[in-house]
Amino acid sequence: MSLPKRIIKETERLASDPAPGISASPHEDNLRYFDVTIEGPGGSPFEGGIFRLELFLPEEYPMSPPKVRFLTKIYHPNIDKLGRICLDILKDKWSPALQIRTVLLSIQALLSAPNPDDPLATDVAKHYKENEKDAQRVSREWTAQYAS
Amino acid sequence: MGNSTSSSGRGHHEDSVDYGQLAPQGVYTGPRDWNQSVVTQLIIERKLAPFYRPLEEYEDSWDDEQILAARKEFPDHETAASESSTRGEHGGTVRSTHPHRRPPGAKEQGSIPEAAVYRGAVECPICFLYYPSNINHSRCCDQAICTECFVQIKRSEPTTTHLVSEPAACPYCVQDNFGVTYTPPPWRAGIGADGSGYASHPTTPRTPSMDSASLNATMKARRRSFGHDSKEVVTIDQIRPDWEAKLNAVRAAVTRRANRRIIMRQVGDRLIPVGVTSGRVHPLTGDGASDNNSEGGGESPGEGRTSRRSRRRQQQQQDLNHLLGSMGLGGQDLEELMVMEAMRLSLLEHEEQQRREQAKKNTDGGNQQTNADGEQSSNAGGPSIRSDLPSLPSSAPINSPARDSSSNGSSPSSASSLGVDIGPHQRNRSPTPAVPSPLGPQSLDVPSTLPSRRSIDRSPSPRPRQSSESSRPPPFSTLSAALAATSTATAFLSPSDIPQTEGVGENREQSTASQPGGIPHAESVPARLD
């Protein structure tokens, strides 16, 4: 099965014009599977961390969203223990006009703006809602511990 | 469409529209689940851009040969075989392919029309391929989208947990009810052209490049957006007119699942699962009324959900099975079968245990116990059912001691209690046909129920009616008899015409149920989206 032109072009553009703080490169043996890193955005509790993710483009891509997961442990209300991400554009709000790049930028933005009202990790979300300062402290600790 | 030679598999030039094709070129390999004849018609009417063969890359400086060479070949296309020869040359120099790629009668000199249409090609932002500039534009935000991508956009598929099918949003601006407009080139070629065919278009070869430039200008000039219902707009619902029927079918399947009950039989102070009702709606109109629940057809205002569902079901009954079959939801539900298997195993274990107990007791009492739990399963023992029950015992004496001994370790006092869906006692149900019980014949007369039951019976086991008297394979006959009993229940409740007191969604109205509910016509289904 040959790779759709779109995936080839996206990969090329990611390489030639990477988004700041984001890298994504395909596996040699599976060009639909990407190793991703996202730098924790400045000013967030994740600053200074480098988070590893995996991204997979399913057969239906771009009509179906890519599957993205954090590999690095992260204390974030919208990311659960398994690294799954609660982000609408990865689910029902996916649009085929979105790309790998826009998805990763959205995830980076999610790190800056946690949304505890739509939690995936309920305990973390509870922590964030009840004591944001303390929750951010834990997020920083985890960032230092796991994402450096 | 270009050259008729290489694209012959994709349609001869007389099947082309403005040098584009009527069928997709293979950018996407998934199922073509849109209505292709609608799409074809829209292309012929120039309301949708034809399926042009895309260019992988495009540079304004390219000459015709380069353009033609850049046209993408899709090896997985169904007509790949017919194109293989062309492709072989295609891999070589452009020159060598040239003679083969020219339409007969096309001029050797000057611009090649099927290359010229690509002048000023635009990249589709979704597939990243280049198409002639007469491309579709989103009605709302005027963004380009090729037809190949357009036909991929569809409503969200309803799932069993998300029973709505939201209209597709524009991929670019996320406005609901995605639709496109298309401005065809000022000239015509192929279908719909005067006289049709290339020969009659001496002017076309030279004009397209100019025209596409002017076309670009008009495109850019257009800034207004269109409503999704304006006649220039082609919406994604237009090319998938069956979306509502699909949604309804999934809803019906879910309803059916929700209606499924596990049939319990009471033995002593225990309830044993003996089967599962399918909850399937039978297309028979005659017994529809009997299934109505006390909500009076669900028309009461507070029962919005129910009533909608019930109305929908009425409409669908006739075509439901057929439709579900086409969706892969038909026939025996896998889940249903799995539940039954689980139950069979559980039963097996239970009966094994009972057999041991029975062996200990070894009394004759068990054999007398027969119909005690012959309660019907489909309803929670409402009085109306009860009144019919006395007829059931008539089958009891038939029960052979052998059969009863295994399953009826319980005493007669184990009669069904109110409020529980008690499974029909399979032992006395199985011989029903042999007994002139008033219920027996009726159950057999229900054509709608029997086929499905039979298929259930068939899969897990020998049919109880035959096997029960001679051999006794306890778990099997138990299960299937229970299932048979459910249909009996339906049948035997039917004539009574008594509104029952349960089963949300089981309600059907006789009158409407008999309407010709043409499923494929979305209009005939009154249900609206939430």
| pLDDT 10s digits, B192-211 | 876 544 433 434 444 444 44
Residues B26-51: tens digit of each pLDDT: 899 888 889 999 999 999 999 999 99
Which of A5, A8, A14 to substitute to test the interface with B, most B CBs within 10 Å?
Answer: A5
Name every chain A residue with its beta carbon within 8 A of the beta carbon of B171. Answer: 95-97
How far is it, in rounded angstroms, from Cα B376 to Cα B194?
72
- Between B121-125, B183-187, B278-282, B423-427, the lowest mean confidence (pLDDT) is in B423-427
pLDDT of B195 reads 53
Dihedral of alpha carbons B325, B326, B327, B328, sign: positive
Contact A5 B56 (CB under 8 A): yes
Size of interface A-B (CB pairs under 8 A): 42
In the structure, what pLDDT confidence band is assigned to residue A82 with cuts at 50, 70 and 90? very high
Beta bridge partners of B272: B265
Name every chain B residue with its beta carbon within 8 A of the beta carbon of A60. Answer: 30
Among B258, B505, B502, which residue's Cα sits nearest to residue B382? B502
Closest partner CB to A97 (pick from B28, B56, B172): B172
Give the residue on B whose Cα is nearest the Cα of A1: B76
| Structural contact between residues A51 and A24, judged by C-beta atoms closer than 8 angstroms | no
A65 touches chain B (CB under 8 A): no
Among B469, B305, B447, B336, which residue's Cα sits nearest to residue B399? B469
Among B271, B478, B263, which residue's Cα sits nearest to residue B376? B263
Which helix (H) or strand (E) segment holds residue A69: the answer is strand A67-70
Contact B30 A6 (CB under 8 A): no
How far is it, in rounded angstroms, from Cα B269 to Cα B414?
7
The CA distance from A76 to the nearest CA of chain B, in Å, is: 27
Residue B75 has pLDDT above 50, yes or no: yes
Given A24, A86, A103, A124, the catalytic residue: A86
Q: Regarding predicted confidence, which is higher, B476 or B162?
A: B162
pLDDT of A127 reads 94
Contact A5 B129 (CB under 8 A): yes
Residues B402-420: tens digit of each pLDDT: 444 444 444 444 444 344 4
Mean pLDDT, rounded, for B260-280: 76
- Between A64-78, B262-276, B387-401, the lowest mean confidence (pLDDT) is in B387-401
In the structure, what pLDDT confidence band is assigned to residue A11 with cuts at 50, 70 and 90? very high
DSSP B96-157: HHHHHHSPTT--SSS--HHHHTTTT-EE-TTT--EE-S--EEETTT--EE-HHHHTT--PPP
| Structural contact between residues A22 and A37, judged by C-beta atoms closer than 8 angstroms | yes
- Between A46-50, B150-154, B370-374, the lowest mean confidence (pLDDT) is in B370-374
How far is it, in rounded angstroms, from Cα B53 to Cα A19?
32
Q: Regarding predicted confidence, which is higher, B145 or A2?
A: B145
Q: Can you give the length of chain B in residues?
A: 530
Mean pLDDT, rounded, for A113-127: 89
pLDDT of B110 reads 56
Quick one: what percent of chain B has pLDDT higher than 90? 17
Contact A95 B172 (CB under 8 A): yes
Which of A9, A59, A64 to substitute to test the interface with B, most B CBs within 10 Å?
Answer: A9
Active site residue A86: yes
pLDDT of A17 reads 92
| Structural contact between residues B146 and B54, judged by C-beta atoms closer than 8 angstroms | yes
Name every chain A residue with its beta carbon within 8 A of the beta carbon of B126. Answer: 6, 62, 96-97
CA distances from B218 to B60, B91, B133, B140, B215 (A): 19, 37, 11, 17, 5
SS3 B497: coil
In the structure, what pLDDT confidence band is assigned to residue B100 with cuts at 50, 70 and 90? very low
Contact A63 B152 (CB under 8 A): yes
Residue B350: exposure state from Cβ atoms within 10 A (0-12, 13-18, ≥19): buried
A58 touches chain B (CB under 8 A): no
Contacts of B493 (CB under 8 A, 6+ apart): B287, B290, B291, B376, B378, B379, B385, B388, B500
In the structure, what pLDDT confidence band is assigned to residue B63 with cuts at 50, 70 and 90? confident
Which helix (H) or strand (E) segment holds residue B477: the answer is helix B474-493
Beta bridge partners of A26: A34
SS3 A51: strand
Closest partner CB to A92 (pick from B125, B127, B156): B156
- Between A8-12, A97-101, B285-289, the lowest mean confidence (pLDDT) is in B285-289
A101 touches chain B (CB under 8 A): no
The CA distance from B521 to the nearest CA of chain A, in Å, is: 27
The CA distance from B182 to the nearest CA of chain A, in Å, is: 19
Alpha helices in chain A (DSSP H): 5-16, 100-112, 122-130, 132-146
Beta strand B179-181 with B136-138 is antiparallel
Residue B397 has pLDDT above 60, yes or no: no
In the structure, what pLDDT confidence band is assigned to residue B18 with cuts at 50, 70 and 90? very high
What is the CATH number for A38? 3.10.110.10
Contact A6 B174 (CB under 8 A): no
Contact A5 B128 (CB under 8 A): yes
* Token duo for residue B11: 């349609």
The CA distance from B145 to the nearest CA of chain A, in Å, is: 10
Beta bridge partners of B181: B137
Residues A58-81: tens digit of each pLDDT: 999 999 999 999 999 999 999 999
pLDDT of A128 reads 93
Name every chain B residue with its beta carbon within 8 A of the beta carbon of A5. Answer: 56, 72, 127-129
Q: Domain of residue A75: give its range.
A: 5-147
Contacts of A79 (CB under 8 A, 6+ apart): A70, A85, A86, A120, A121
B73 touches chain A (CB under 8 A): no
Residue B109 has pLDDT above 50, yes or no: no
A16 touches chain B (CB under 8 A): no
Which of B57, B72, B124, B126 to substitute to test the interface with A, most A CBs within 10 Å?
Answer: B126
Helices A122-130/A132-146 angle, 10° precision: 130
Contact A96 B126 (CB under 8 A): yes
A106 touches chain B (CB under 8 A): no
| Structural contact between residues B72 and B56, judged by C-beta atoms closer than 8 angstroms | yes
Mean pLDDT, rounded, for B55-73: 86
CA distances from B207 to B71, B111, B134, B192, B201 (A): 21, 9, 14, 18, 10
pLDDT of B223 reads 56
Which of A8, A14, A95 to substitute to test the interface with B, most B CBs within 10 Å?
Answer: A95
In the structure, what pLDDT confidence band is assigned to residue B502 with cuts at 50, 70 and 90? very low
Name every chain B residue with its beta carbon within 8 A of the beta carbon of A6. Answer: 126-129
Give the residue on A whose Cα is nearest the Cα of B55: A5
Name every chain B residue with its beta carbon within 8 A of the beta carbon of A59. Answer: 30
For residue B71, give the DSSP letter.
Answer: B
How far is it, in rounded angstroms, from Cα B11 to Cα A77?
55
pLDDT of B446 reads 40
Among B28, B59, B42, which residue's Cα sits nearest to residue B126? B28
The CA distance from B155 to the nearest CA of chain A, in Å, is: 11
In the structure, what pLDDT confidence band is assigned to residue B506 with cuts at 50, 70 and 90? very low
In the structure, what pLDDT confidence band is assigned to residue B254 with cuts at 50, 70 and 90? confident
Q: Which residues in chain B (154-193) have CB-CB distances under 8 A to chain A?
A: 156, 166, 169, 171-172, 174
| Structural contact between residues B168 and B153, judged by C-beta atoms closer than 8 angstroms | yes
Radius of gyration, alpha carbons of chain B = 33
B30 touches chain A (CB under 8 A): yes
- Between B127-131, B308-312, B425-429, the lowest mean confidence (pLDDT) is in B425-429
Q: How many CB atoms lie within 10 A of CB B293?
A: 21
Name every chain A residue with its beta carbon within 8 A of the beta carbon of B27. Answer: 4
Mean pLDDT, rounded, for B436-465: 43
Please, what is the average pLDDT of chain B? 62
Name every chain A residue with its beta carbon within 8 A of the beta carbon of B149. Answer: 96
Q: Regarding predicted confidence, which is higher, B225 or B21?
A: B21
Residue B195 has phi, psi (to 5 degrees) of 75, -25
| Structural contact between residues B48 and B148, judged by C-beta atoms closer than 8 angstroms | no
Dihedral of alpha carbons B167, B169, B170, B175, sign: positive
Contact A63 B75 (CB under 8 A): no
Contact A10 B126 (CB under 8 A): no
The domain ranges of chain B are: 12-72+114-195+223-275
B325 touches chain A (CB under 8 A): no
Cis peptide before A116 (omega within 30 of 0): no
